[in-house]
Amino acid sequence: MSIATITIDAWVCDCCGHQWRIVSRENVPKRCSRCKSRTWNRSAQPKVPFSLNAETISRIADGLRHRAARRREAAEERVLARLRR
């Protein structure tokens, strides 16, 4: 005999913790099927749209700067390659 673990996706109520099977991801339930709360899916609508700390902001800025520099280098390479021809 062998045992398999099956994972299924489920909605989780933010109010009562109830979990129930997702039938369709497009049709997000209006209410929790146990406690009937309409705010069961509160986490889907964040209260604060953005809360980034200074470290995260600088990390993102560094990433963007790095990417911009790479793009600039690639553009310069293309121009140089064209001039060399």
What DSSP character marks residue 11? E
Point out which span in 1-9, 13-21, 46-54, 67-75 binds Zn ion (CB under 5 A): 13-21
Cα within 13 Å of Cα(10), Cβ side: 13
Strands annotated E in 13-85: 19-21
Stretch that binds Zn ion, among 27-35, 48-56, 67-75, 77-85 (CB under 5 A): 27-35
Q: Where are the beta strands (DSSP E) in 1-85?
A: 10-12, 19-21
- 32 touching Zn ion, by CB under 5 A: yes
Question: By CB under 5 A, is residue 14 in contact with Zn ion?
Answer: no
As a whole number of angstroms, the longest Cα–Cα distance in the chain is 72
Query: Closest Cα partner for 23 from 14, 15, 33?
Result: 33
Give the nearest distance from C-beta 22 to Zn ion in angstroms: 15
**Which of positions 46-75 make contact with Zn ion (CB under 5 A)?**
none
- Single out the residue of 10, 12, 22, 35 in contact with Zn ion (rule: CB under 5 A): 35
Positions in the binding site for Zn ion (CB under 5 A): 13, 15-16, 18, 32, 34-35, 37, 40
